[in-house]
């Protein structure tokens, strides 16, 4: 497991990374006062304080909506929401097995977003020729 600096929420993040390690080489990187959680270079989760947010797409967003969860709101004083990341239910975060199931879906959402981005970039390159 990668070393995580002693910052607010660091133990929470270290515990999450430990619980997610069976999925592969999960790493945490400090970013913008919070953390990004990565696998294979893909950010599939964010952590702000002791709240986790998973990457969503049309396949896993309904799980979050059924649980009454909302999109990530990075600033308290602004209406901006990142609708590609939703708060994970605390019961999921607290149960390692559930955490890995939901994380697996978030990883798939991140992979699908990367494929879509690559396809879009390829289409732009083809149009320029």
pLDDT digits (tens, 9 = 90+) for 62-75: 999 999 998 877 66
Q: Is the pLDDT of residue 52 over 90?
A: yes
What percentage of the chain exceeds 90 in pLDDT?
64
Structural domain total, the chain: 1
5 part of a folded domain: no
- The position carrying tokens 């798939």 is 108
The pLDDT value recorded for residue 122 is: 62
Query: What is the tens place of the pLDDT at every residue in 8-21?
Result: 578 999 999 999 99
For residue 88, the model assigns a pLDDT of 96
Q: Look at residue 79 and tell me if it is in a domain.
A: yes
Comparing CA positions, the residue from 84, 90, 82, 21 lying closest to residue 49 is: 90
45: domain CATH number is 3.30.1460.30
Residue 81's pLDDT band (cuts 50, 70, 90): low
Distance (Å, whole) CA 48 – CA 127: 40
Q: SS3 sequence, 63-119?
A: HHHHCCCCEECCCCCCCCCEEEEEECCHHHHCCHHHHHHHHHHHHHHHHHHHHHHHH
Compute the distance between CA of residue 99 and CA of residue 126 in angstroms, rounded to an integer: 40
Q: Is residue 45 part of a domain?
A: yes
Residue at 4 is within a domain: no
């Amino acid at each position: 497991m990668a070393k995580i600096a002693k910052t607010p929420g660091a133990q929470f993040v270290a515990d999450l990374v430990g619980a997610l390690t069976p999925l592969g080489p999960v790493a945490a990187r400090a970013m913008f006062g919070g953390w990004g959680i990565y696998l294979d270079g893909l950010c599939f989760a964010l952590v702000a304080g002791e709240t986790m947010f998973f990457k969503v797409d049309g396949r896993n967003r309904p799980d979050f909506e059924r649980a009454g969860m909302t999109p990530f709101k990075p600033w308290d004083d602004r209406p901006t929401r990142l609708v590609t990341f939703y708060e994970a239910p605390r019961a999921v975060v607290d149960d390692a097995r559930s955490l890995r199931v939901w994380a697996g879906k978030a990883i798939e959402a991140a992979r699908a977003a990367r494929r879509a981005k690559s396809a879009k970039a390829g289409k732009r390159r083809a149009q320029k020729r």
